[in-house]
Chain A
Amino acid sequence: MSTFFPDKKSSLEKAARIITEAEKEAETIITAASKKAEQIIRESHLFTRRVYETLKKNLTETTEEISSSSQADLAKLLEQHQLSLTNFLKNLEEKTSVQARVFQTQAQERLLKIEESLGQELKTEYKNLLQEAKKSQDKKLADFAAMLDKKMPDIVKEVVGRAIPLEKHEEIVRGYLEDIKNTRPWTKT
């Protein structure tokens, strides 16, 4: 088997190397994607906290300023601040989620590209392997046929009693062709 596939080992090693390299690259992308996602979430938490602190401070100040106002006005003001804070947090959550999704899609696209190029490389490697095998097989068959050609005069000598050189064989065939032509075999039923 191995004699028919002389370069099979190196081709398989090359294929294994391609896979290992692709795995490494995929791992790098996934690690980077995770880090980036973590960073986005961490930053959004810090930002939310900062905004919350600012709003809280503003709310306290406003409350103090309008301490003289009626209870109803104060309740209304509090409700407004609460609503704006809720809306802000909701928007921030949506934006963070969109950003994370975009990053995830980009990472997936890159992984897909790696998969595609990996498939292409393996396909080429497989094709090369088949071509090498075919070349090797053809050579073996040609060698075998050449060996039989060499033995041919001996075989004929064994049966007929004397060796017939190749040129003589061809001459015999040409002679028979003349005979066949004269018999007009294709017209007979």
Chain B
Amino acid sequence: MDQNLVITADEASRITQQFQVAAQAIYKSQSSWDQAIRPHLSAEDYQRVVASAAQSQINSSESIASLLEDMSQKILNLPVVDVELAFRPSQSLLDDLVNWFSQSGPGPCRLRFRTDYRLLGGLIIGYQGKILDYSLASRLKKI
């Protein structure tokens, strides 16, 4: 698992669901674990699992299923950062925000996006009780 993993909440939900399905597929399948999980994961996630397995030096089906469950749990346990925007962000802005949090954020986290038109513009970041209000609405109030 990446040391400084920053992931959107939607992506986290998708990945954990796929990991859980893949773990179940190992128990149900008669074939090897890599053949069992391959159809249920994206190429990137599959590589991530293979790399983690190699790093942990595990190869039995039970260990891989357990690894997938651990990885799901780690993703679900990531602290949540709430990001509120006045509009629905484009994919380009979403990517920029994920990159920004990877480099300048508080550490590994799940980004939960919300849209609130009352912000009028800018953004509000909420993390562990701390609120960084960079919204246009709050700027206007200060004028």
A binds B: yes
A residues in contact (CB < 8 Å) with B: 145, 148-149, 152, 155-156, 159-160, 164, 166, 169-170, 172-174, 176-177, 179-181, 185-186
B122 touching A176, Cβ below 8 Å = yes
Q: Indicate whether B6 reaches chain A with its CB closer than 8 angstroms.
A: no
CA A176 – CA B135 in complex, angstroms?
A: 9
Q: Which residue of B lies closest to A156 (CB)?
A: B120
Q: Are A173 and B123 within 8 A (Cβ)? A: yes
B43 within 8 A of A: no
Given contacts A145-B88, A170-B93, A186-B106, contact A152 B123 (CB under 8 A): no
Return the chain A residue nearest B93 by Cβ: A170
Could you say which of A145, A174, A180 has the most chain B C-beta atoms within 10 Å of its C-beta? A180
Cβ B89 vs Cβ A172 within 8 A: no
Please tell me the number of chain B residues within 8 Å of chain A, measured between CB atoms.
29
Interface residues of chain A: helix, strand, loop or mixed (majority): helix
Number of A-B residue pairs at CB separation under 8 A: 61
Inter-chain contact B132/A180, CB cutoff 8 Å: yes
Main secondary structure of the interface of B (DSSP, over half): mixed
Q: Which of A169, A180, A181, A186 contacts B86 (CB 8 A)?
A: A169
- Inter-chain CA distance A102–B60, complex, in Å, is 48
CB A186 to nearest CB in B, in angstroms, measures 4
Partner among A166, A170, A179 whose Cβ is within 8 Å of the Cβ of B134: A179
Q: Give Cα A159–Cα B125 distance, bound, in whole angstroms.
A: 22
Are B122 and A148 in touch, CB under 8 angstroms? no
> Is B105's beta carbon under 8 Å from chain A?
yes
B75 to chain A, nearest CB (A): 21
